[in-house]
Structure 1
Amino acid sequence: MSGLQAIRYNRGKLEVLDQLRLPHEHSYELIRTSEEAFDCIKSMRVRGAPAIAIVAALAHGVELYQNACEAPTAQGTISYIDSRLDYLKQSRPTAVDLTNAITHLKAVVRTVDIASLDESDSSAQAAAKSAIINAYLEAAEEIFRKDTETNLRIGEHGSRWLLANAPVKSPEGKVSVLTHCNTGSLATSGHGTALGIIRSLHSAGNLHHAFCTETRPYNQGSRLTAFELVYERIPATLITDSMAGALFATRKAEKHIAAVIVGADRVVRNGDTANKVGTYALAVLARYHGIKFIVAAPTTSIDLQTTTGADIKIEERKREELTQISGAVVGADGKVDVSRTVRVATAHQEIDVWNPAFDVTPADLIDAIVTEQGVVEKGESGSFDFRGVMPERWAAVVGR
């Protein structure tokens, strides 16, 4: 597994790698409160659906461990936890991992039996409060731990499926892929989802080449994915978002480009997928050029409550992300000076801006959705059926 870690945690202490300073500077930020976590997520110092959920869950755990809850009763403690989690949920509403984690944590704290407690028995109330907090901490830490296992399984399932279904391969049986945004160790607890499949291909000697897009306007591809690929010594090339069509048209055969592999912030019941804006265009291009389009998503990113992508709430980001850019200064000698950061205008500052953070790729354009439980392929109806990889949740929500 990669040595890169976006999140460092020991009970009572949470540190998050500031991804706005990458690729030029490694700086970890201490997160002590839900407010600090909210700001860290909202400003995208941490991003990626799994990492967002982990940071939110652990940050509130740190608060609880540091005795931030002043409620004297067990019920008051549960109400406090609910209110803090509801607050954190608003930091990135499109990422369903966060919602699912919050729903799970709320359910866990309610497993502590408090129905028969005497409200006037302060020692019993204190013991129940302690049990509730401990249950929360263990559940939040389990979310963190399980994410790495999930990513490794996604990498294994996805690489195996692609090798079996690749439309083109090199004479040695290798494939090249393109990925969008950042879905690696920096977006998860480790290894990654879409980038995890690429890592698994590479580690098994089955990757010919990886291409990554800049991912405008926030440049997660050029700042983060390119950094991870270089760090892992994976053969890779950076392109602008608008070069993908030309790449497929002119280099598909030469470079053995078999698939576009992306992550997901939300996959709804029929398979429609919300991911970083620009994903939909890549899916259209992949279909035209006969290239597989693969979504890598843990089952925690699958939203069975929402039937189609038309009902997904798309977050819109601030206008300055399109009209301004900041970065470390490059000196006359070509070296990067991390001590000097400047912000420059890239457009007229009065131009109107539309800046959706995500778009929705219809299920019809997706060939496979890779989860930790296996690969789901489209049915004859043109949509996906997830009951095989999440039977209990499917039965609870869909009922058949």
Structure 2
Amino acid sequence: MLTLDQVYHAAYVLKGVIRETALIHAPLINPESQIYLKTENLQITGSFKVRGAYYKISQLTEEEKAKGVIACSAGNHAQGVALAAAKNGIRSLICIPDSAPISKVEATKSYGAEVCLVKGVYDDAYQKACELQEESGATFIHPFDDPQVIAGQGTIGLEILNQLPDVDAVIVPVGGGGLISGVAYAVKSLNPNCKVYGVQASGAPSMVRALADKQVQALKSVSTFADGIAVKCPGETTFELCSKYVDEIVTVTEDEIATAILTLIEQQKLIAEGAGAVAVAAAMFNKVDVKGKKVVCLLSGGNIDVTILSRVITRGLLKAGRSGDLVIAMMDKPGQLKDVSAIIADLGGNVVSVHHDRGGENTGINDCYLHIRMETRNHEHLEQIRRAIIDAGYHIKNM
């Protein structure tokens, strides 16, 4: 089982292999608390996963190394295993769900691993990896349910306590539970008064359910763009450690995650993937008690596909009231668009797209709909523009 000596040994082994990532003060994330960001999104391979993968592989016997390693991953663990195997001069085969971002798949191949794409989600890739492991005799490197992997992730907890000794709380993303198990074990062992909170996507609450039911059970399905934590079933080892060392695990919505990613880009100039931003989302939307406290949000990874990032930014702007859509019913006569545009412009809004719709069997012969998308400052600004358009005699359709 996991020991503090093992976590310290992992930190020793990892010296010179990984970065001790910076702890950045981010006062605007939640002005009622002192928020710091542990930037594992800037780790080599763009994720914390290399810590556990490298430590596990470094402890293999020569006989085990000769047979190679096999792993399954949504992408970040894959890159960690691939890099660790390459540095140790051994062969690696990684099973990745076919829904994983292309950027993660290509990055894994670039580190020298052989990739097997599997239809479905992480758990389907796990089943395939188990089958291939039995056939080949390679060592399976579990992404989270392994004491040595957990010890490697626990080195983040040691770094946080060195960087901010008087930290009041640490907020950690949770998928299968390897990261929070290691961090919580290290932090609670050295500072029992520090709170450790976990965060899952509301569409993949596997550890939340496990702790509520006091047993591990697989979810029927998961649905979240935070692919790094889209895990149907947490581990038995991680479940036990979370039960003992974690104070609470909460969930955040897709819109809250998108808003957190956008906030990190604008305020901190940092790119985080969906899984990497959930801790910030929890702090921003007060999902855990952070008021008046020194809080570290762990940014677990930054490997987000650029096409997904584009959609996330759009969603985040809508959630924050920075972008808004209006559908206005009006008479189809000259000057209507000019009048509506003038109202928006006078109030400081910026129209970015307009669609004029005359058709529709439910509209009058002389009626039309004006679809407008505009940039605004916040929800209050958007509502001010809405109110002004209504006061001018126009009817806004509910969307």
TM-score (norm 2): 0.31
